[in-house]
Homo-oligomer: A and B are copies of this chain.
Amino acid sequence: MPQYKLYYFNLRGWAEPARQLFKLAHVEFEDVRIENGTPEWGALKPKTPFGQLPFLSVDGFEIPQSAAILRYLAKKFGYAGKTSEEEAWVDAIVDQFKDFVTPLRQLIMAQRSGNAEEIERIQKEVFAPARDTFFKILNGILEKSKSGFLVGDGVTWADLVIADILTTMEMLGVFDKHGEEQKLAALREKVNEIPEIKEHNSSRPDSVV
């Protein structure tokens, strides 16, 4: 096994599904957590491949961008889909998630601003329509799923990405697991009940994102 080092901030954020993939596959890795705004990050930033985190080091070979890291690990460990067509659907779901991140980020920025009027405007005009579109797509996929997972008959990195974003949304107050989104809540529970994930999640540092 190569020596893996995953560099990210001390957050779940863009790196959490990668940490979970290592746990699922029982592969050792160094979980390097860097505090944002510190001299340590200032010194590291210009040495990273794209000037940003996360990046993954595989025996010193560096891979930037979270989805690229996740796909690389998922393929190595067997969580990328079992056929080319399953891989394409996993990729498509994650791309759809990436499209959803822009409005989600706008909501997070509005919430951080503390401006109640702006929060309401972004929530109503930007975030809610994007969430409805995204959830409709995911629900449509889950309605047809026989396994309860998003693609094929087992867990893939798309499930990890979606389960994690639902947790972020719950923490931000925009996902109600007891509400209408039963199928999505069930998917998250299914992911989080996998023993390796359950153990990992129960021992990780708390963070909203």
Contacts and interface: CB of A to CB of B under 8 A. Distances in A.
A63 B85 CA distance: 8
Nearest to A98: B98
Identical chains in the assembly: 2
A91 B76 contact: no
Chain A binding site: helix, strand, loop or mixed by DSSP?
helix
A174 B137 CA distance: 35
A68 B84 contact: no
B96 A65 contact: yes
Interface in A70-114: 71-72, 75-76, 84-85, 87-89, 91-92, 95-96, 98, 102
What is the size category of the interface that chain A forms with chain B?
Answer: 20 to 34
A140 to B, nearest CB: 9
A133 B69 CA distance: 20
A184 interface: no
A58 interface: yes
A64 B92 contact: yes
A84 B72 contact: yes
Given A51-B133, A51-B137, A88 B72 contact: yes
Interface of A: 49-51, 58, 61, 63-69, 71-72, 75-76, 84-85, 87-89, 91-92, 95-96, 98, 102, 133, 136-137
